[in-house]
Structure 1
Amino acid sequence: MSRRSFARRFTAATGTTPHARMLGLRLSRAEELLETTDLPIEEMARMVGYGSTAVPREQFVRRRGVPPRTSPIHP
């Protein structure tokens, strides 16, 4: 199956794109790590597949409205 066909079928079945789903999964895992561990943001970012802390910080602000350190789950 081609990438394009997969993306269309995935979106039809889930209501979201594969890329958006992956971002959501990474962000959820990052939140879980921040909530349940004392890991620094740099280590959390590496563990969930980000190359730097800039992207997860941006995603937290875009999707949750707050940066990771001021998140209600990790004061």
Structure 2
Amino acid sequence: MKRRRIDFNLTQRDLAERSGVPYASLRLFEEKGKASFEAVVKIAFALEAESEFEALFPPRPAKTLQDIIGRPVRQRVRKK
């Protein structure tokens, strides 16, 4: 995040204002990597990095032909 912030020519205070994340929280994230998920998302949007979140939970690859052609997509899991 720090590298991207610098590439955008933003100070920590600029990014805090642009993202809506408190300056102290932004500093803590940059220095120690600690932040709420909400703060990380706000920072990502402010730095135009929101598309990288798609890589966090990629779909599982198909294992069988049935996975590819016929099985409906599950919407929830039921307990047995």
TM-score under structure 2 length normalisation:
0.32
Of the two, which has the highest radius of gyration? Answer: 2
- Structure number having the greater helix percentage: 1
